[in-house]
Structure 1
Amino acid sequence: MQKPKLKFWDIWNMSFGFLGIQFGFALQGSTMSRIFETLGAEKDSIPFLWIAAPLAGLIVQPIIGYLSDNTWHKKLGRRRPFFLLGAILSSIALLWMPYSSEVWMAAGLLLILDASINISMEPFRALVADKLPDSQRSYGFVVQTLIIGVGTWIASNLPKFVNNTLNISNEAAPGVVPASVKVAFAIGALVFITSILVTIFTTKEYSPEEMKAFGEESAEQEEKKGMIATILSTYALMPTVMKKLGVVQFFSWFAFFAMWTLANPALTEHIYNAGKPDIHEFAQLDQSGEPALDAQNLILFKNNQSQAEYKKLDKAYNEASDDVGSKMGIYGLSSMIFALLLTFYTAYYSINRKYVHMGSLILGGLGFLLMFYIPGNPDYLLISFSLIGIAWGSILSMPYAMLSSSVDSNKMGLMMGVFNMFICIPQILAAVGGVVFLHKLIGNESIHAMTIAGIFLILAGLSNFLITNKKAITYQPSIDNA
């Protein structure tokens, strides 16, 4: 018995929760480094402060994948219990994040936020494979990417929108996150929980009996192994196509981690000439060399002129950061348009996933490389992030479509969770010093991190030559898994 094909709105509704997930990720990606800088973190330490995010994914996703494969709730089904749990925890973390008063608090909340987002996100990938026949999976993942693009664009623009349209200030005392960012995160929390609920209430999952009729029942022998044994055996018996896609993923996610962690300091300095001012240059210092505080726990400036100069430079930094976040949103808009075109095309025709992915990644790499050559010209970032968006749209759809057509459907959730190691490991390596070490081989300026991102994304594109599995490259019912 074959799974029935679903209509566009059915696929849209079952993927709509990704809007909220991406609100969380986009606010994190466009604003987290700004929060760290505001709280006093040094630029070179920012990638390490992000390490909680990939560590959470590395640990949480395989576990959630296994649990969601082996869960059936009478009302919520197989994947939806995890959508709901992740949404509740993520919304709480989003509300608290901008109220962090110390760097360690923000880093701890980032761990909670990313772990919570992963609880919701991983089952969404598996749900596409659960609900759709093989012939619609590229279509399904592309629709998912379309929604992700919408979320990225809107969420990245939220701090600027809140400041310019709602007239909520983007200025604050030294070491305090501006009110505009706090409101943006609160909106993100509301969108997260609401969009997840839309998917929960509009999407019916196939029951275990229906999955059995489709020939996709869970194997009892696999269940008896237990969670840890099953996860470890899946790592050991990883399909060849997953390993090859892992090489592509490694270079891709290293590049994007460099962007998320260092784009704000790199672009505010190189493009806007408005880096974060160092409070130590303007404040009175105590015996330990830290800014001195008055009785109200406020920073004591050297004089009124120093205070005015700091406020002027900090205002320029916050405005530049708002604009960097807004420009980063372009990659979400671009990925949305790219996904929309793929959605219409893949609804009727097969595509060569390998070459689509290769070309998209190379274009994104060129977008990163362009950034070095446009100092003082923020408008050219529209071109850079448009090209990066094409790569992003492909990263969020093509690898998963290739993988889902090439692995055991009985363990799709676990496979998607294990595949996540190729997302997390490169980010961990980048966080512990990889991206800073590599960009300093070129120069001390943070903009060189974007150059490294461009080089790695081009290498990711070329790595697609490793993919030779015919069923992974282009789905055709007559072609067996090679």
Structure 2
Amino acid sequence: MKDAAPVLSAESQTPRATRPRLSMWAIWNMCVGFFGIQIGFGLQNANTSRIFQTLGAEIDSLAILWIAAPVTGLLVQPIIGHFSDKTWGRLGRRRPYFLVGALLTSAALVLMPNSPSLWFAAAMLWIMDASINVTMEPFRAFVGDNLPEEQRTTGYAMQSFFIGAGAVFASVLPWLLSNVFHVASTAAEGAVPLSVKIAFYVGAAGLLGAVLWTVFTTKEYSPAEIAAFDGLAENDPAPASPQRGAGLYGLGGLTFLGLGVAVAALVLASGWEKELYILAGALAVFGALQLAVAAFRRAERTNGLTEILDDIFAMPAAMKGLAVVQFFSWFALFAMWIYTTATVTAVHYGSSDPTSAAYNAGADWVGVLFGVYNGVAALAAFLIPVVAKRTGRRGAHAINLVLGGLGLIGVAVIRDPALLWLPMIGVGFAWASILSMPYAILAGALPGRKMGVYMGVFNIFIVVPQLLAATILGLILRHLFEGQAIYALIIGGVSFFIAAVSALFVREHKG
């Protein structure tokens, strides 16, 4: 990397270095690993419901089986972010996490399509998502670490390109294998088709290779350089968030713990569906964590847990505004990922039987549709920085979210499966923007030496809507829409529209 030019920090009068601009080739190398991550993520999104249904899962239980992904991300990403901020070794700051996560994800990709039971498959999803999160969270901070403010939109857009390209590759693999290479796409009851198995094996190799590319072609700034970007000396402590008092943590802990117990009691007394126990558990766990921090604070002890919760309650204003946008954006995405296969196979192909040729043809077509929106996202990644220069980041994001809402509703309206690629264009623009604009807005509001933990905390606003979707979408479909999955996509479209309006009210940091 080029030498950083020092400037004077107005706050401390300490010489502050500015991050140098990097070449497009350097940005390219920095982001290649996301191509591999998204191969794993794309195979998971397009095929997990198919594997679950093949192993005997009912449609209204799909959401609860998917719960592994958001719960894992909720726990893993803030922890990984916190520790990666404090890591420095032969491989650098973030790259050790890239490598370990890639190895574990590749192993899970090989095992999942060979699952002997539904619960083994659910466990593999849990392990896979934990491993993807170990790799993905430091990648978000990586761009903020290495690029100056004026290049961050480009950097996150480049990540969007590789995410789109990786997902296209992953999504169409089963279809290509069955239709071009004539690998069997059907199997006996309870068995995963060979085309899906081979796709997962190829994906495991591609993921590991792409992450290794970034690990061995990209350098990182040293702790001294990162400190200089914040106007600090190397041995100065990282900027601390204001400490929340033990009393407030105690009150908040008792409140959330009480809410969790109350929800669990209502579910038990009324016989409501067991999915709501997950919501009760999430509330109770957050309450228990606050009570633990209250005890640490009274004992005047500081540790990773106290720092992470302090950061959550002291997040920048831009992050608070983006939290609302992320909530509704990811609620819509999770509705799409869970229920598109069930919708297309039932509505457009007329079969809900995983052993039928019609169902498997529809499931393969969903893989192609997911490939379309990810391919559009890869191309849209180059347009988003151009649009953002004219409308601002908030305006560009709002426009793309509206396109996503129109896309999801379009899937529910169109009846000819051959035309379903058209609404996927709108979804592709929304996906590209979701993967870049919020992070570009956020990175400018964060201190460099806490980039990892704040990017991890930011993941909470991706996970909470997914947790909520996995908890209540199945219940909504069962009780209000007679179990018809198509209505989940309509709900997702409306959620995208709400996110678009919310994006216009985000307060951007002016550094």
TM-score range, shorter chain: 0.7 to 0.9
Q: How far is 1:276 from its partner?
A: 2.0
User: Of 366, 391, 399, which aligns to 2:430?
Assistant: 391
Q: How far is 1:315 from its partner?
A: 1.8
Distance of aligned partners of 1:228 and 1:222 in 2 relative to their CA distance in 1, 3 Å threshold: farther
Q: How far is 1:183 from its partner?
A: 0.2
User: Of 2, 19, 23, which aligns to 1:3?
Assistant: 19
Matched, 1:370 2:387: no
Please give the alpha-carbon distance, in whole angstroms, between the structure 2 residues aligned to 1:457 and 1:241.
19
Please give the alpha-carbon distance, in whole angstroms, between the structure 2 residues aligned to 1:196 and 1:444.
40
Please give the alpha-carbon distance, in whole angstroms, between the structure 2 residues aligned to 1:40 and 1:322.
19
Matched, 1:235 2:312: yes
Matched, 1:163 2:163: no
Aligned amino acid, residue 352 of structure 1: G
Please give the alpha-carbon distance, in whole angstroms, between the structure 2 residues aligned to 1:4 and 1:47.
45
Please give the alpha-carbon distance, in whole angstroms, between the structure 2 residues aligned to 1:439 and 1:359.
33
Look up the match of 1:99: 114
Q: Deviations over 1:235-280 (max 9, x none)?
A: 1212222111000100010111111111101111112223225xxx
Match runs of 1:168-183 below 5 Å: 168-183=183-198
SS state at 2:420 partner: helix
C-alpha contact 1:439 1:452 (8 A) present in aligned 2: no
Please give the alpha-carbon distance, in whole angstroms, between the structure 1 residues aligned to 2:477 and 2:483.
10
Match runs of 1:225-374 below 5 Å: 225-276=302-353, 314-342=356-384, 349=389, 352-374=392-414
Aligned amino acid, residue 180 of structure 1: S
SS state at 1:167 partner: coil
Please give the alpha-carbon distance, in whole angstroms, between the structure 1 residues aligned to 2:502 and 2:107.
39
Aligned amino acid, residue 347 of structure 2: H
SS state at 1:352 partner: helix
C-alpha contact 1:272 1:320 (8 A) present in aligned 2: yes
Please give the alpha-carbon distance, in whole angstroms, between the structure 2 residues aligned to 1:102 and 1:93.
15
Q: Deviations over 1:394-437 (max 9, x none)?
A: 00000001111112222010000000000001101111123541
Aligned amino acid, residue 405 of structure 2: G
User: Of 142, 163, 173, which aligns to 1:127?
Assistant: 142
Q: How far is 1:56 from its partner?
A: 0.5
Matched, 1:460 2:499: yes
Look up the match of 1:292: none
Matched, 1:220 2:237: yes
Q: How far is 1:125 from its partner?
A: 0.5
- Can you give the 5+ residue segments of structure 1 that lack an aligned partner in the other structure? 278-310, 472-479
Distance of aligned partners of 1:11 and 1:343 in 2 relative to their CA distance in 1, 3 Å threshold: farther
Please give the alpha-carbon distance, in whole angstroms, between the structure 1 residues aligned to 2:238 and 2:159.
33
- Can you give the 5+ residue segments of structure 2 that lack an aligned partner in the other structure? 1-5, 7-17, 241-300
Aligned amino acid, residue 465 of structure 1: L
C-alpha contact 1:436 1:449 (8 A) present in aligned 2: no
Q: How far is 1:209 from its partner?
A: 2.3
CA RMSD in angstroms comes to 1.8
Q: Deviations over 1:137-161 (max 9, x none)?
A: 1110001101111011111001011
Q: How far is 1:226 from its partner?
A: 2.4
Q: How far is 1:341 from its partner?
A: 2.0
Aligned amino acid, residue 359 of structure 1: I
User: Of 67, 74, 96, which aligns to 1:58?
Assistant: 74
SS state at 1:466 partner: coil
Please give the alpha-carbon distance, in whole angstroms, between the structure 2 residues aligned to 1:82 and 1:222.
23
Aligned amino acid, residue 220 of structure 1: P
User: Of 10, 13, 38, which aligns to 2:54?
Assistant: 38
Distance of aligned partners of 1:247 and 1:448 in 2 relative to their CA distance in 1, 3 Å threshold: same
Aligned amino acid, residue 270 of structure 1: V
Please give the alpha-carbon distance, in whole angstroms, between the structure 2 residues aligned to 1:124 and 1:37.
33
SS state at 2:93 partner: coil
Q: How far is 1:172 from its partner?
A: 0.7
Please give the alpha-carbon distance, in whole angstroms, between the structure 2 residues aligned to 1:454 and 1:222.
40
SS state at 2:220 partner: coil
SS state at 1:445 partner: coil
Aligned amino acid, residue 127 of structure 1: F
Q: How far is 1:102 from its partner?
A: 1.2
Look up the match of 2:288: none
Matched, 1:418 2:465: no
SS state at 1:140 partner: helix
Look up the match of 2:224: 209
Look up the match of 1:288: none
Q: How far is 1:69 from its partner?
A: 0.3
C-alpha contact 2:477 2:484 (8 A) present in aligned 1: no
Q: Deviations over 1:334-377 (max 9, x none)?
A: 1111102235677xx575010100010011101111122222x1
Aligned amino acid, residue 71 of structure 1: T
Q: Which moved more, 1:75-84 or 1:458-467?
A: 458-467
Q: Deviations over 1:26-67 (max 9, x none)?
A: 101111000011001000100110000000000000000001
Aligned amino acid, residue 413 of structure 2: Y
User: Of 16, 41, 47, which aligns to 1:25?
Assistant: 41
Look up the match of 1:285: none
Look up the match of 2:283: none
Please give the alpha-carbon distance, in whole angstroms, between the structure 1 residues aligned to 2:478 and 2:503.
25
Matched, 1:427 2:463: no
Aligned amino acid, residue 324 of structure 1: V
Q: How far is 1:380 from its partner?
A: 1.9
Please give the alpha-carbon distance, in whole angstroms, between the structure 2 residues aligned to 1:452 and 1:216.
46
